[in-house]
Amino acid sequence: MKIINFGVREDERQYFERFATEFGVQCFTTDRPLDNNTMHLLKGMDGVTDITTRCYAPEIYQMMQAQGAKYFSLRQAGFDGLNCVDGRRYGVRFARVPDYSPNAISEHSVALALMLLRNLHTGYMRWHNQDYRLEGLIGKEIRDYTVGILGTGHIGLEAARAFQGFGGRVIAYDVAPRPEERQWLDYVDDLDDFFRQANLIGIYMPLNDGNRHIINQHNIAKMPDGTIIINVARGEHIKTDDLYQALLTGKLAGAALDVYEGERGIFHQDFSTRIVPDELFRKLEALPNVIITPHIAFNTDHAVRNMVKISLENIINMAKCDKIKNEIPY
């Protein structure tokens, strides 16, 4: 079996080599994304893996069909960039890696919250310049917050446990609550009530049309003054203009973002010698109560290893079975 892997980073290559040998498949890698300029690399392949937040053109799936590449696995959990209907029309089956490491992303969200609450980002800049004064660095404790978990999949549940471990009161909202978790997790069934109660909100839900821009001017107005927003899910969950205005007015005390609505073309690029072209991003990044990390919450050795391993297993298993656990429904 031949598998072509797109968008491969240096930290992934060792795992492709390792698991290709272990699974007895041929793996070909490129750091380029799968698009109209690279789809010629599909020739002679049985399966494809990629990691991306962009949408694929129908021509990609048409080329997969023409070349006999029937199996497509994302090396990630989110699949909002896939048009599975288009793909299935050309006989392509899709899978993802839903559980590569919920801990990686949940831990990152807690780290972001702690950085904001303890002013570590501000302090670090001072300490780097040998300014060790205490003024302006007084922090807050998680136990004094009502932490709201938006989305209780594996990542959201791990985050809820972590915030509880710090002594915070934790509530949760999900369109499909898990009854078995209610014995330890306080679900709030009404979204408006959720926003009225939580003053530290973490976003962990998959993106869909129903929750796109769920953090907007209307919902921010319901939140307690001084609420903090943490987003490790998708940038499109937040209407960025509304977030920016709420931060300026002080309605929101801070925001820590590992994702951004217009991140494509910014994140994972080097702008040290040039200006980021997105003006709103520059304005947001300049605020003292904002922390932005470039979509790295997933990036641990444990997670990267599993993303490669499970995505290759998905391709192999789809070739053997009519239905597999990680297959994406359409």
Q: Is 129 left (phi over 0), alpha (psi -120 to 50) or beta?
A: alpha
The domain ranges of the chain are: 2-100+300-320, 102-292
Q: What is the CATH number that goes with domain 2-100+300-320?
A: 3.40.50.720
pTM: 0.89
Same fold, 2-100+300-320 and 102-292: yes
Give 266-299 pLDDT, tens digit per residue: 999 999 999 999 999 999 999 999 999 999 999 9
pLDDT in tens, 1-59: 999 999 999 999 999 999 999 999 999 999 999 999 999 999 999 999 999 867 888 89
The whole-number pLDDT of residue 53 equals 66
Q: Which of 158, 263, 313, 327 is catalytic?
A: 263
Catalytic pick from 93, 295, 313, 327?
295
Tell me: the pLDDT tens digits for 59-74? 999 999 999 999 999 9
Residue 302 is among the residues annotated as catalytic for this protein? no
In CATH, 102-292 is 3.40.50.740: no
Question: Pick from 290, 278, 304, 211: which is nearest to 253 by CA?
Answer: 290
Please confirm, yes or no, whether 295 is among the known catalytic residues: yes
C-alpha Rg value of the chain to the nearest Å: 21
CA 7 to chain CA mean position, Å = 16
Q: Residues 234, 236, 237, 327: which is the catalytic one?
A: 234
